[in-house]
């Protein structure tokens, strides 16, 4: 039993539907074996649990663990290649790196670097776009299990428009995917996601094979890309002439449902938004990637008005790092600048997108806020004394302003500790 005494910010009620930031300068979270059994004042917590260990975190700000809904395992060494649109970036930067994961030692090293990147950035749960190699996925799942993080991931499948080393076929992909599902789905905090790279590199038969896996393995997830780049969309239409639009390439294969997370959707059609809302599918919004690849302005307002769930993703490595705080502030910038009329985001919106929205998107009902009945997945923001973020927090006008400064200036260097299920993961 541990009592964490802290200044706490979270968003139990969705700010997009009228909720506000929940904040308190001195809260006691009583944690028993990773479960928050009480959220109360310190005196009450101490009286109820006189023998509990007390951890005083009031010199920082405690927020829920951050949740990344789209991040690429093989691209940790490809971060920071700027100045190229999507398809050129893939050919010149990402795909050559991804081909290297066929070598076991390389895959093991990358898995370690990737998980370190997540933890150091305060990410406690993630939908991870995996590798094209089954061996690399075994290595990653093993490392992810040992890390303690909540990870959903799967074997990436493609049968065209990529280097030969990254291509598969229906029989081989189905066999390898099913073996990974049997080994890893539901083991500890791990879940499996059917992962066609995108409909530009996966034909109808390969997509349909993924749909059969979903049908035969209830509870697994689906993730891919959607409407990121206008040239990509044009290419998809040529490969799938029978489909009504990009989303329909997945839908015809049985890949659109409540457990479907599709990244980007910068250029959606109204029909696609309506269908995603109907199915309960989720969009992973990746603002630094959309900016770095010049993919366009994410139409957040259209998603909200259509009733489509949205959460944040870093999209490493087209995105510029694992820091979801940076993704939050970049989403704010892009909405401010959107010539079509963006959504006026507050710091509460940003925290929601980075935490509770991700928990809802990934059906991680046990996390996302710091309240009674939730698991203690948390991040302590504590910048070094005298640094600009420390100054900003101390002189903030109110808690919403302090949170805005955390998003505007916060980096992994300002994260003092990270917990999953009450266990500290931060070095």
pLDDT of 427 = 67
pLDDT of 83 = 82
167-184 burial, b for 16+ CB within 10 Å, e for fewer? bbebeebbebbbebbeeb
pLDDT of 193 = 99
pLDDT of 339 = 95
CA quadruple 204, 207, 209, 211: dihedral sign: negative
Q: Which residues contact 417 (CB under 8 A, 6 or more apart)?
A: 57, 379, 380, 424, 426
E strand or H helix that includes residue 95: helix 95-99
Max Cα separation, the chain? 68
| Residue 95 φ/ψ region, left for φ over 0, alpha for ψ in the -120 to 50 degree band, beta for the rest | alpha
pLDDT of 234 = 97
pLDDT of 318 = 95
- CB distance 29 to 376 below 8 Å: yes
pLDDT of 261 = 99
d(CA 305, CA 307): 5
Structure tokens at 141: 């799942």
pLDDT of 426 = 78
The count of other CB atoms within 10 Å of the CB of residue 156 is 31
Q: Which residues contact 11 (CB under 8 A, 6 or more apart)?
A: 19, 20, 21, 22, 348, 351, 352, 355, 356, 369
Q: What is the pLDDT along the chain (427 residues), one digit of tens a residue?
A: 999 999 999 999 999 999 999 999 999 999 999 999 999 999 999 999 999 999 999 999 999 999 999 999 999 999 998 888 999 999 999 999 999 999 999 999 999 999 999 999 999 999 999 999 999 999 999 999 999 999 999 999 999 999 999 999 999 999 999 999 999 999 999 999 999 999 999 999 999 999 999 999 999 999 999 999 999 999 999 999 999 999 999 999 999 999 999 999 999 999 999 999 999 999 999 999 999 999 999 999 999 999 999 999 999 999 999 999 999 999 999 999 999 999 999 999 999 999 999 999 999 999 999 999 999 999 999 999 999 999 999 999 999 999 999 999 999 999 999 999 999 997 6
Q: Among all chains, which residue has been given the structure tokens 């206008």?
A: 230
pLDDT of 126 = 99
């Amino acid at each position: 039993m541990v009592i964490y005494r802290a200044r706490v910010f979270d968003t139990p009620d969705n700010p997009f539907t009228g909720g506000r930031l929940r904040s308190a300068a001195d809260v006691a979270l009583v944690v028993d074996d990773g479960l928050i059994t009480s959220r109360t004042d310190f005196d009450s917590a101490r009286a109820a649990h006189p023998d509990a260990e007390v951890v005083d975190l009031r010199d920082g700000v405690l927020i829920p663990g951050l949740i990344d809904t789209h991040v690429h395992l093989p691209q940790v060494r490809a971060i920071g290649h700027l100045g190229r649109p999507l398809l050129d970036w893939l050919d010149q930067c990402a795909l050559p790196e991804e081909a290297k994961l066929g070598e076991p030692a390389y895959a093991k090293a990358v898995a370690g670097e990737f998980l370190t990147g997540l933890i150091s950035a305060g990410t406690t749960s993630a939908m991870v776009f995996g590798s094209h190699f089954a061996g690399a996925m075994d290595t990653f799942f093993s490392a992810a299990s040992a890390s303690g993080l909540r990870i959903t991931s799967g074997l990436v499948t493609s049968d065209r428009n990529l280097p030969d080393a990254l291509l598969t076929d229906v029989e081989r992909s189905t066999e390898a995917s099913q073996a990974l599902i049997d080994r890893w789905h539901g083991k500890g905090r791990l879940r499996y996601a059917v992962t066609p790279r995108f409909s530009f590199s996966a034909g109808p038969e390969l997509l349909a094979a993924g749909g059969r896996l979903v049908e035969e393995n209830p509870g697994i997830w689906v993730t891919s890309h959607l409407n990121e780049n206008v040239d990509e969309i044009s290419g998809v239409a040529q490969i799938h002439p029978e489909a009504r639009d990009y989303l329909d390439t997945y839908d015809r294969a049985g890949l659109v449902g409540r457990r479907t997370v599709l990244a980007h959707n910068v250029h959606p059609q109204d029909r696609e938004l309506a269908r995603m809302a109907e199915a309960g599918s989720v969009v992973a919004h990746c603002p630094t990637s959309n900016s770095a690849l010049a993919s366009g302005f994410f139409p957040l307002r259209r998603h909200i008005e259509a009733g489509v769930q949205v959460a944040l993703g870093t999209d490493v490595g087209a995105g510029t790092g694992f820091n979801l705080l940076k993704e939050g502030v970049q989403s704010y910038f892009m909405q401010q600048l959107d010539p079509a009329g963006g959504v006026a985001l507050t710091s509460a919106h940003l925290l929601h997108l980075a935490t509770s929205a991700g928990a809802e998107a990934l059906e991680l009902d046990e996390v996302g806020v710091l309240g009674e009945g939730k698991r203690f997945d948390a991040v302590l923001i504590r910048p070094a004394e005298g640094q600009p973020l420390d100054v900003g927090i101390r002189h903030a006008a109110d808690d919403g302003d302090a949170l805005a400064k955390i998003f505007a200036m916060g980096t992994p260097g300002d994260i003092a500790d990270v917990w999953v299920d009450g266990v500290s993961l931060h070095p």
